Amino acid sequence: MSSDGLKIGISKAEQKKFEKQFGKATKTVQDKLRQIVAKSAMNIQAQAKANITENKGRVSSALFNSIRVVYSQDMLTARILAGKDYAVNYEFGTKSNMSIPAELITQYADIKVKEQSFDELYEAIKLWCRRKGIDTKAAYPIARKIANEGQQPHPFLYPAFKDEKDKFLDNIKSALK
C-alpha cells in the first residue's frame, strides 16, 4: 500500500486509449475533455465523502478530510485518493470480512492491509472510547473482537467511482464525436 492510501481509477488500457484519442482532438474538444475529467473527479470525491458520512461515527474525520483529487500536469487524468493508511481496511474490510469487488481484484491482488499489533489496536480503541465518551473498559473486548474476526468493509470510494464511471465514459465519447 502506498503512502497515498486507497486509489481507484480507470485501467491503464482505458487511459492509453483515451490519451490516444485526446491527442487527435481540437483545442476546444481538449478543453471540454479537461472539464469532464475535473467534473467527474469532483463528483467522485463528493460522493465518497457522502458515503463516509452515511457511516457516521464509524470513522474519524481524518479519513473524510483525506479524500482529495490529484490531477496530472495536463489535467487529462485525475486520481481520487483517500490518504490514510487505514483507508483500504475501511473500504474492503480485513481478515475473513475482506471483500474486494471483482473489477478490482487484479489491482489489489497483492493487497496488504495495515497490520498492527494487538497493543497498538488496543491503544487506538482506548483513544476512540475516550473521544466518544465511552468507558475505556470497553476497549479491550472491542479490540479482541476486531483482532480475532477482522473489520467489516465500509465501501466509500469504489461505489462513488462505480456510480460516476459510466457517466464519465459517456461524456468523453460525446465530446470526441
Q: What percent of the chain has pLDDT over 70?
A: 81
The answer to whether position 143 is within a domain reads no
Strands (E), 26-166: 67-71, 78-82
Q: Which of the residue ranges 2-16, 78-92, 113-127 would you say has the lowest mean pLDDT?
A: 2-16
Q: Is pLDDT of 172 > 50?
A: yes
The answer to whether position 105 is within a domain reads yes
Q: What is the distance between the alpha carbons of residues 17 and 12, in angstroms, rounded to a whole number?
A: 9
Confidence of residue 160 (pLDDT cuts 50, 70, 90): very high
Q: Is pLDDT of 13 > 80?
A: no
> Into how many domains does the chain fold?
1
Count Cβ atoms within 10 A of the Cβ of residue 139 and give its class: 0-12 exposed, 13-18 middle, 19 or more buried.
Answer: buried
Cα–Cα distances in Å, from 27 out to 22, 35, 66, 112?
A: 10, 12, 34, 42
The answer to whether position 87 is within a domain reads yes
In this prediction, residue 116 carries a pLDDT of 72
Cα–Cα distances in Å, from 30 out to 76, 85, 156, 172?
A: 9, 35, 30, 10
The answer to whether position 161 is within a domain reads yes
What are residue 41's phi and psi, to 5 degrees? Answer: -60, -45
The answer to whether position 135 is within a domain reads no
Cell 466518544 sits on residue: 132
In this prediction, residue 136 carries a pLDDT of 95
Domain extent for 35: 6-114+151-176
The answer to whether position 32 is within a domain reads yes
The answer to whether position 123 is within a domain reads no
State mean pLDDT over 149-162: 90
Q: What is the pLDDT of residues 81-107, one digit of tens each?
A: 898 878 888 888 888 888 888 777 766
The answer to whether position 78 is within a domain reads yes
Q: What is the distance between the alpha carbons of residues 137 and 74, in angstroms, rounded to a whole number?
A: 53
Closest CA to 90 of 1, 30, 22: 1
Helices (H) and strands (E) in the chain, counts: 7, 3
